Structure 1
Amino acid sequence: MHPVPPGRGLLDQVGVGCGPGVAEGARQARDRGATADQVHAVAAWRETPWFGDAERAALALTEAVTRLADRPDPVPDRVWDVAATHLDQKELAALLLTIAVGNALDRLDVPTRRQAGGW
């Protein structure tokens, strides 16, 4: 079984647009061993060499689930299928739960104007 890549910290930074989510995500990613290059480049993960195939699959799924309104088929089968080649069912479930919790927290932080570092 593989760990759920790349860890909650990096996933929290994908497409959230929320200061606390990005700041806390960066801290958690560093704490879990993400490199400085990964932390700084996660917003441009497609154009950087610092993520492996499993990490890219997790990031693609995270982005699709986070940005549901961006396209008619929000989570294309190909995105899910690639993630499923790198993660087993339990890991996919953990990843989806991580994405959902991060998105829920962002939906609370944005309207309440919670500031990064305010925890």
Structure 2
Amino acid sequence: MVKAKSSKKASKSKPIGATIVAIYFLIVGIFALVASVMFLTVGPTVMGMLFQGPLFSLMSAAIGIVALIAAIIYLIVGYGIWKLKKWAQIVATVLSVLGLFGGPLSLVLSIVVILLLWVHKDTKKAFS
């Protein structure tokens, strides 16, 4: 009988806090990516139908480009958090601090991310 080699598990398991934050950042990145595609494809047409002038079409394209940049950043940070990279913890914290100045939902989510990354014992230990 041939005995299959068992896969060697990583010595440090991913804490639930890091998993939650990584999934959150990946979801935000996916939503921003979808929004950027919408603003870059149908946005100029819709804006042109609703408002007169080329400025509104350009504004839609600019919003689409900003959303695309945000999507790329959030997806990269989400992947970095998933891989427990220290740089991703720092960038996620900076983005969360900026999120404190958004709306009420953004405020709550940013506080949760900061607490999970820096206060939750297992998550904090995984990044150090």
TM-score range, shorter chain: 0.3 to 0.5
Structure with bigger helix share is: 2
Per the normalisation by structure 2, the TM-score is 0.30
Larger RCO (CA under 8 A, 6+ residues apart) = 1
* Bigger CA radius of gyration: 2
Per the normalisation by structure 1, the TM-score is 0.32
